[in-house]
């Protein structure tokens, strides 16, 4: 068995030449990427380019056709189901769709992963749920008994975030955490990603279509284009890049190598 006990300590993610096709369509064509521990890495790319596909590989929801994916020095493409289940406890995934359970109130939604994975007392459960709601800026007493349809879009995202952090993840994956939100709620979530980063010292991966927001939350940036990571660097490197793809992406111009369908 491979050793992954150090995930709490290092939390580095590494893609090595990862290929993935769906049917005839090759989406990932040799992804090489290092996600630095305790920092936020943003993945930029056009819609349909494969960003969600990349992060689904990190939680093992998808397996590559070829290539390797390491978390620390543990190759998750070789993990058994049991090892993958263990690993997932340490990875928080905020889905693109938000994905709360409609039939459960806020308390049960957040309790769900803990009941599933951990053996905790009722007191511990309550304490963890209340503190994770407070961490995402919600007042537990006001919303704990509400159902998802009684919450606004921004609150649902924050409850989703509370459910993610209640497991004390070492890695958090955010797939468009602010899509569909007004600018104020969007800003709140963006600030929260920063705060969580500092308070929980997690390794984060963020996918976002909002460039200004990404530069606020991110430390490192990777540009996905035609199935490959074509550029990678910090904000300064990215903003001063001469790459025509990056320049077009940042400017939103319709002219350039990126073809919109
Ligand atoms: N499970 C699947 N089966 C078949 N095709 C898929 C599957 N998952 C993704 N795809 C296809 O792969 C491509 C990349 O999808 P993906 O969701 O990764 O893009 P994305 O970059 O996240 O896009 P967006 O910004 O719109 O969310 C799309 O064309 C999508 O239709
Ligand atoms: Mg996506």
- Domains of the chain are 36-50+86-217+229-251 (3.40.50.300)
pLDDT for position 234: 94
Predicted TM-score (pTM) of this structure: 0.89
Q: Ligand 1 pocket test: which of 20, 24, 47, 48 has the largest number of ligand atoms within 8 Å of its C-beta? A: 48
pLDDT for position 212: 87
Instruction: Show the low-confidence residues of the chain (pLDDT under 70).
Output: 1-10, 96-98, 260-261
Q: Ligand 1 pocket test: which of 20, 50, 94 has the largest number of ligand atoms within 8 Å of its C-beta? A: 50
Tokens at residue 5, please? 């006990």
- For residue range 79-103, list pLDDT tens digits in order: 998 888 888 888 988 876 667 888 9
* Bridge partners of residue 20, in order along the sequence: 28
Please report which ligand is nearest the Cα atom of 227. 1
DSSP 8-state code for residue 176: S
CA 208 to centroid of ligand 2, rounded, Å:
9
């Amino acid at each position: 068995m491979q050793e992954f006990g150090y995930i709490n300590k290092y939390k580095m993610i590494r893609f090595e030449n990862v290929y993935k096709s769906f049917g005839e369509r090759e989406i990932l064509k040799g992804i090489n990427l290092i996600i630095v521990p305790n920092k936020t890495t943003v993945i930029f790319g056009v819609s349909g380019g494969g960003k969600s596909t990349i992060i689904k590989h990190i939680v093992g929801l998808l397996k590559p056709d070829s290539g390797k994916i390491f978390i620390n020095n543990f190759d998750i493409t070789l993990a058994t189901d049991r090892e993958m289940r263990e690993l997932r406890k340490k990875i928080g995934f905020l889905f693109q769709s938000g994905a709360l359970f409609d039939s459960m109130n806020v308390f049960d939604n957040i309790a769900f992963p803990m009941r599933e994975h951990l053996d905790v007392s009722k007191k511990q459960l309550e304490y963890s749920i209340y503190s994770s709601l407070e961490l995402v800026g919600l007042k537990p007493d006001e919303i704990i008994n509400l159902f998802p349809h009684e919450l606004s879009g921004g609150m649902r995202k924050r409850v989703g975030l509370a459910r993610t952090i209640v497991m004390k993840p070492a890695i958090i994956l955010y797939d468009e955490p602010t899509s569909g939100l007004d600018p104020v709620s969007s800003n709140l979530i963006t600030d929260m990603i920063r705060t969580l980063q500092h308070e929980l010292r997690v390794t984060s991966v963020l996918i976002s279509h909002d460039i200004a927001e990404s530069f606020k939350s991110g430390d490192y940036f990777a540009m996905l284009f035609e199935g490959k990571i074509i550029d990678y660097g910090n904000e300064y490197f990215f903003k001063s890049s001469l790459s025509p793809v990056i320049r077009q992406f940042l400017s939103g111009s319709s002219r350039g190598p990126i073809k919109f369908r």
